[in-house]
Structure formats: structure tokens, C-alpha cells
Amino acid sequence: MAVLEVSGLCKSFGETLAVDGLGFSVGEGETYGLLGPNGAGKTTAISMIAGVLGRDGGEVRVGGQRHHPAGRRTKAMIGYVPQEPALYPDLTGRRNLRFFARLHGLAREEAGRRAAEVLELVGLTGRGDDLVGTYSGGMARRLNIAAGLLNRPRLLILDEPTAGVDPQSRNAIFDAVRRLTADGVAVLYTTHYMEEAERLCDRVGILDGGRMRAEGTRRELVALVGERDQVTLRAEGDLGAAVRALAAIAEAGEVSEREDGVELLVRDARAVLPRILAAVTGTGASVGSVEVREPDLEAVFLHLTGRALRD
Amino acid sequence: MRTMMIILAKDLWLRSRDSTLLVYAVVLPLGLAFMFNLVLGGGGGDRLGARYGVADQDRGPAATRFVTGVLRPMAAQGLITLHAVTSREEGRSRTERGELDAVFVIPEGFSAAVGAGRATTLEVVGDVDAPIAVQVAREAAQAYATELRSLRLASPDGTARDLPPAPLTLVDDASAVTRQLDTTTYHAAGMAVFFLFFAVMFGATGILDERSAGTLARLLAAPVSRHAILAGKLLGGVVAAVAGMAILVVASTLLLGARWGDPLGVAALVVAGVLAVTGLTGAVAAFSRTSEEASNRLSGLAMVLGLFGGALFPVAQLGGFAAVASLTPHHWFLRGLADLAGGGSAGEVLVPVAVLLCFAVLGGALATVRIGRLMRV
């Protein structure tokens, strides 16, 4: 079931069209990544979805209900984690969380309990009573995420949560997101890091210039643009015969002989791999190792927009 | 209401950890009031160009002596200008219109009473907005009364025909001369309303601070209304300012001897004054992009309104300035306190309170109209 449905979302700032007819959906327990360079419209899009920013057009449905910027019922289902830590540095971590929990309608005692739970979840229980102003950047970002979980959201919106954090904090954030999706939370995750999208997201929407260029699973995106997997076999024997045998495989593209083996481009290498190995060993050659390298989202973005993701 | 209270509690907690509010709401106004009182205490000195009227309904020798012996020399020195008025009513009307600062009313039979040794009166009707000029008028009349007594004492047999034999009683018009604040209370009240802008400011600029800190986005993402967020932020300024004013009133009473008047009336004026300034600061914030820009604008506005509103010195003494004073909340706050100073009850400050609330509504309406822009992340 789709927790979030977005269609025809539009937003302009003066003459600039920041988001142009954006549409996608996120299911229960799914992590959906909005991937795009800085200025692609990611933050504008999720600000509208979170109800922080008004929209010029389009529709957003959360939990099957129409969502308006002033819609309290649908907002109660959303956990929003802004890009920069949105916290009060002169309050302790715990007091910050209690304040935001109370805004979400939790009673005083329940707010205290929930604050303790989310502090535990992001590994900050020991620092909960310290002023946020004394936190490191990574700790502040973890607390920022914790604040987005206070209302036990069905939809968690994370706006580039790992920007500028150390690897340890990044892994902690990834672990937290995985635990949440395992519990059925739908996660909308924006990033301009291709590796993050590939590692974390079940589906990815590629956003550029305010428009959705393509969306799907990683494999679907790669297939969409016709990219092929690169298969490298380290082998010994009659490599010329091996090249000819591989070229006879229907799915194979370019096949070339290397000093220590053969290399070919092929669609859906994982499915074809048994036939590749059979073709090579059928010539009497012995295979030492196989490496399959799938095309990444960077290549997809380059193909779709004509420029690199981080240009 | 619940959201407002949660935001209010958070803001007050944060504010309590910052001494800035205490400095602006209590320490500075009290300290400056003390200094002004010390330096200018006793009325602030002579004034230039006071406009006095004389309603001489007696036209006898004692009345003529007062005009020619006391007032005309002052006019000759350029300290005052003298104007003839036909009656007490005309004099009162002209002072209320601001055409005259004070009017001496010499009743019919004044000279005869003085000559016969009967009690008589010399009345001073003053403009409430010209306290120094009125004070000088009172001093002049008092000096003449003292002179009459001295002459009487210098002639023990009391028979000299040219000596005024009778005591003269000086009468203040209860609705005019006594409707002015004493110097100490004036300085305390003036500084209080002047610094009110700075005390209230953090409520309005707090929204812009939340925006720049990114926390406004989180507030807007919560299931609460924008109006509740705005009201909660502004309410923080209101509560802090009212508390500061209350401390200031009590402290200036105990430490400086200020006399604020009827507590209920003072409370009504304080709350209305705080709301008025809150409305104006909210409106200014709504037309500003950043907290810094709003703070700069509000500081300038506080200075201009304080100057024209008579918080720093009695602007009625400067003629043309008086005309614009009524456009400021400071003027109405001080006028309300002046109404109470003569022993008036809370009911007598209804007009100033109503005008102050109009400022609040006007400013609040402007802020509300611009709420979309104010709440934009």
C-alpha cells in the first residue's frame, strides 16, 4: 500500500520553476530516494510534501488522505528531518525532543518517555542531558533524525541527512533507516550521493531541473537507459575460441580478449552468467575468477542529463 | 491554545537563561530613570517660549500688579508670551487645544478681596502635555502669593492702603495641573515605555530567528496552525515585557519614590501598552526578511516613537512636535499615567487604553496579513 502518493507537484519562485509536475509514490516499508544534484528541486519538493512550503499545483496524499500544508491529520503521520539540524542549541537534547514531542500532541509524561526511546534509537542516551550546542556535527544530525521520529511516523522524510557527517555517524543513520523500514515505515530520502541511493534505496527517482527524469529500482533505471553489465573473466587456455563462443550468446555485446582473460558487455549479466561460464569452459579454457560490474546511477544520470551528478 | 503555551514555555525558558531581557526591561530603564532624576530632578529647568494666557476678570490693582509686575517681566525676557483670554472657559479650551500652555484665571473681586483682607484665589489651568510650562506658571503664581504675604508681614499694622492685607490661595485646576506626572514618575514611565520596544522585540524577531536557525521548518511540519505559532512567539514577548514592567513599577516606587497611581489603572495601561508595542513589532517583523533587519528597524522605530511620543522629554515643550505625539503609543501610555497621577481611578484611562489597543489591533492585523511571508522557510 502506498503511504505517499505525489502527482503533478509544482512550485515556482518568481520566474524560476523549481519543481515541475513531480509525481511518484512510496510504499510501506520502502525507502525511496530522490537523487539529483544541488539545485535539482529535491528540498523544495520534500518541503511541499512535509507541509512546510505551499505548492502551486499538484496533489499529495499521505496514508490515502489528501494532504494540505495546514492539514493536521496528515501531518501527524509525517516525520520530517530537515537538511540542517533544526534544534535549539541552548536546550538539552532531551528538552529539544520533549518540546517537539509536545508539539505533536504527546502528553508531558509520554513526551518524556518517547524522547528517551528515540535518544536510545540514535545512540545518544548518554548525551541527552547535554546542551545541543555542545554536540558534534554528527551527533546533532542524529538528534535531528530522532526529532523526526517522535510521533512514530508512517512516512519519514529525510533531507540529505548524511551531508557532512563522519562515516561512523553515516552508518548509524543507515542502520536507523533500515530498522525503521523493517518496521513498515515509508522513507523518502533525498541525496546527491549516488552511493547512498544505491546502498539504501529500494527505488530511486532521478530529479534534475525540477523534473523527474526517470524512476525505478536501480536495475530498472540502468535498463531504462540501455546500459550493460561489464563481465570480466580471468581465464587460461584458447582465449580466441572463448571470445568466439561468447560472441555467439545472443545477449552479448562487445567481446574482447585481454592479456589474462576475456571481457564482454551484456544485458543482465547475473541471468546470463551460467551460459557465459559454460561457453568459456566449453572451449577448454579454465576460469580463475569472474567479476560483474553493473553500471551505476552516476552513469544513468550522465546518460539522462548529459552531465555528471556532482557538476 | 495548547500549542501557544508550549511555545511560550520554551521561549520563556530560553529567555530566562539570557540576561539581555532583564537588562533591557528593567536594569536600563530603571538606571536611566535614576540618572535623569538625579540630573534633571526638580522639574528640568526653565523652558523657552511658554504660552500663557491671562483671564483677568477683576481688572483691579492687585490683578494688574500680578500681570505687570510678574508676568510682563518674564515676557520681556523672552521666557514667555502673554495672551489675553476673556474667560476661564476660553482659557481652558485653548489649553486643551494646545494653543496655550497655561492660563491664569484672576476672578472678579480679586483686588477687592485682597484689599479687604478676605481670602481669594488665583487659579492656574494647565496643559497636561506641557508639564514644565505649567510648573513655571504655578511657581510664578506662588511667588506672587508669597510676595503678598511678605508685604503684609512687613506692615504690622496692616493699614497701608497699597499693601495687600489678605492671604492669597493658589488654586490648581484639578483636571489640568494635577494631571501631570511628577519628575521621578515621568522619567521612570518614559524610560519604561521607551525600552518596552526592546523588551518585546524578541518575541517578534524570534520568528525570524527560528527561520534562520531552521527550527521554523520543524514547527511548520508539526500538526499545529501557523497562527498558533505566531501567537505563541508573540505571547512570549508579551509575558516577558509585562513581567519586566511590573518589576520596574515596583522597583521605581520603592527605590525612586515614583507615584504611578491606581494599581488597576496602571495594570491596564501596562498590558495595553505592551500589546500595542507587540502589535507594532509584529508588523515590522512581518515586513522584514531577517531578524537582524527587523531588529535594526525596530530600534530605529523605538527611537523615533520614543522621541516624538515624549518618552525622552516632554515634547509639548517643543511646539510642533506635540502634534505628532498622539500618533505614538508612548504618548497615550504617558497620558494615561498622567490621568492617574491626579488620583484618578482606572476608569479614567479608558481612552488611552482603547487607543493603545487600537495600535495593537492594527499592528496585529498587519502581521496576520503578512503571516504567509513571515512563516516562509
* Model pLDDT for residues A30-87, shown as the tens digit of each residue: 999 998 888 888 889 999 999 888 899 999 999 999 988 778 889 989 999 998 889 9
What's the pLDDT tens digit per position in B50-66? Answer: 889 999 998 888 888 88
Residues of A in contact with B214 (CB under 8 A): 82, 84-86
Mean pLDDT, rounded, for A262-285: 88
Q: How far is CA A86 from CA A24, A38, A107, B226, B377, in A?
A: 27, 20, 22, 18, 12
Is residue B171 in a domain? no
* Range with the largest mean pLDDT of A67-81, A103-117, B230-244: A103-117
Determine which helix (DSSP H) or strand (DSSP E) holds A272, and give its type and residue range: helix A269-281
* A284 closest CA partner among A232, A258, A245, A231: A245
Beta-bridge partner residues of B124: B104, B172
| Residue in this structure with the C-alpha cell 515614583, named with its chain if needed | B258
The grid cell for B204 is 517578534
* Judgement on whether residues B37 and B80 belong to the same structural domain of the protein: no
Beta bridge partners of A5: A25, A61
Pick the closest to residue A196 from A165, A226, A240 (CA basis): A165
| Cβ-defined contact of A75 to B215 (cutoff 8 Å) | no
Taking the CA of residue B133 and the nearest CA in chain A, the distance in Å comes to 52
B62 and B23 share a domain? no
pLDDT of residue B362: 92
B140, pLDDT greater than 50: yes
Give the pLDDT band of residue B163 (cuts 50, 70, 90). very low
Q: What digits encode the pLDDT tens for the residues B333-346?
A: 888 888 787 666 77
What range defines the domain where residue B231 resides? Answer: 2-42+182-374
CA distance B16 to B345: 34
User: Look-up: residue for cell 528531518?
Assistant: A81
C-alpha cell at A224: 531504462
- Is B247 in the same domain as B342? yes
B324 and B276, same structural domain? yes
In this structure, how many other beta carbons lie within 10 angstroms of the beta carbon of residue A207? 28
**Strands B50-56, B102-106: parallel, antiparallel or unpaired by DSSP?**
parallel
Does position B44 have pLDDT exceeding 60, yes or no?
A: no
> B165 lies in a domain?
no
Both B132 and B36 in a single domain? Answer: no
Asked whether the beta carbons of A130 and A93 are under 8 A apart, the reply is yes
pLDDT in tens, B69-93: 888 888 877 778 889 999 888 988 8
Counting residues of chain A whose pLDDT is more than 90, the rounded percentage is 42
Please list every residue in chain B whose beta carbon sits closer than 8 Å to the beta carbon of residue A105: 223
Query: Taking 60 as the threshold, does the pLDDT of residue B169 lie above it?
Result: no
Per-residue confidence at B172, pLDDT binned at 50, 70, 90? low
Question: pLDDT of A137-169, one tens digit each?
Answer: 888 988 999 999 998 999 999 988 887 777 887
A257 with A229: CB under 8 angstroms? no
**What cell numbers appear for B150 in the block?**
511678605
Query: What's the structural domain count of chain B?
Result: 2
Q: Is residue B85 part of a domain?
A: yes
Q: Which amino acid is at B350?
A: L
Residue B337 shares a structural domain with residue B290: yes
Candidates A53, A54, A80, A51; CA nearest to A67 is A51
Asked whether residue B73 falls in the same domain as residue B37, the answer is no
Q: What's the confidence (pLDDT) of residue A288?
A: 92
Q: Are residues B277 and B130 in the same domain?
A: no
Inter-chain touch B213–A88, beta carbons under 8 Å: yes
What percentage of chain A has pLDDT greater than the value 70?
Answer: 96
Judge whether B337 lies within some domain: yes
User: What's the pLDDT at B347?
Assistant: 77
B173 within a domain of the structure (yes/no): no
**pLDDT at residue B167, as a whole number:** 45
pLDDT given at position B165: 41
- Range with top average pLDDT, A119-133, B10-24, B196-210, B300-314: A119-133
The CA distance from B337 to B348, in Å, is 10
Of B154, B170, B200, which marks where a domain is finished? Answer: B154
Considering only CB atoms, which chain A residues are within 8 Å of B211? none
Minimum-distance CB partner of A75 among B3, B17, B222 = B222
pTM: 0.68
Distance separating alpha carbons of residues B210 and B232, to the nearest angstrom: 13
pLDDT, position B43: 42
Mutate which: B1, B13, B220, B373, vs A, most A CBs within 10 A: B220
Cell numbers representing residue A22 in the block: 513531480
What span, in angstroms and rounded, lies between the C-alpha atoms of B123 and B172? 6
The confidence band for B180, taking pLDDT boundaries of 50, 70 and 90, is: low
| Average of per-residue pLDDT across B260-264 | 85
Minimum distance, in Å, between the CA of residue A251 and any CA atom of chain B? 50
Pairing of strands A78-81, A155-159: parallel
Beta carbons within 8 Å of B292's beta carbon, 6+ residues apart: none
pLDDT for res A308: 66
Q: How does pLDDT run across B246-261, given as a tens digit for each residue?
A: 888 888 888 877 788 8
In a domain, B59, yes or no: yes
Average pLDDT estimate for B224-246: 86
pLDDT greater than 80 at residue A224: no
Could you tell me how many CB contacts below 8 A there are between chain A and chain B? 65
Whether residues B201 and B124 fall in one domain: no
Interface test with B, best of A103, A108, A157 (most B CBs within 10 A): A103
Which residues in chain B have Cβ-Cβ distances shorter than 8 Å to A104?
Answer: 222-223
Owner of C-alpha cell 534562520 = B212
Cα A94 to the center of its chain, rounded Å: 29
Domain end call among B116, B136, B154: B154
Dump pLDDT digits (tens) for B193-230: 888 888 888 777 888 888 888 899 899 999 988 888 88
Average pLDDT, chain B: 79
* Residues B232 and B289 reside in one and the same domain: yes
A73-82, B3-12, B150-159, range with the lowest pLDDT: B150-159
Task: For residues B231 and B328, state if they share a domain.
Answer: yes
B63 and B108 housed in the same domain:
yes
CB contact under 8 A, A52 and B377: yes
pLDDT over 70 for what percent of chain B?
Answer: 82
Please name the residue of chain B whose CA is at the shortest distance from the CA of residue A72: B223
User: Which pLDDT band holds residue A133 (cuts at 50, 70, 90)?
Assistant: very high
* C-alpha cell read off for B2: 495548547
Contacts A70 to B, Cβ<8 Å? 225-226
More confident position, B318 or B354: B354
Average pLDDT across chain A, whole number: 87
Which set of grid coordinates corresponds to residue B219?
A: 514547527
Decide if pLDDT at B288 tops 60. Answer: yes
The H or E element that residue A12 is part of is: strand A2-13
Interatomic CA distance for residues B33 and B350, integer angstroms: 26
Which residue in the block uniquely carries the three cell numbers 523657552? B48
B3/A103 Cβ within 8 A = yes
CA distance B258 to chain A (A): 38
Interface residue of B5, B12, B218, B226 to substitute, partner A, most A CBs within 10 Å: B218
Contact B219 A99 (CB under 8 A): no
- Burial letters B244-279, b for 16+ CB under 10 A, else e: bbeebbebbeeebebbbbbeebbbbbbbbbbbbbbb
Whether B177 maps to a domain, the answer reads no
B255 domain-assigned: yes
Q: Please report, for the domain that includes residue B148, its CATH number.
A: 3.40.1710.10
Contact B218 A73 (CB under 8 A): no
Q: What is the pLDDT of residue B231?
A: 85
| Least confident range of A190-199, A259-268, B229-238, B334-343 | B334-343
Distance from CA of A304 to the nearest CA of B (A): 31
Q: Do A50 and B372 touch (CB under 8 A)?
A: no
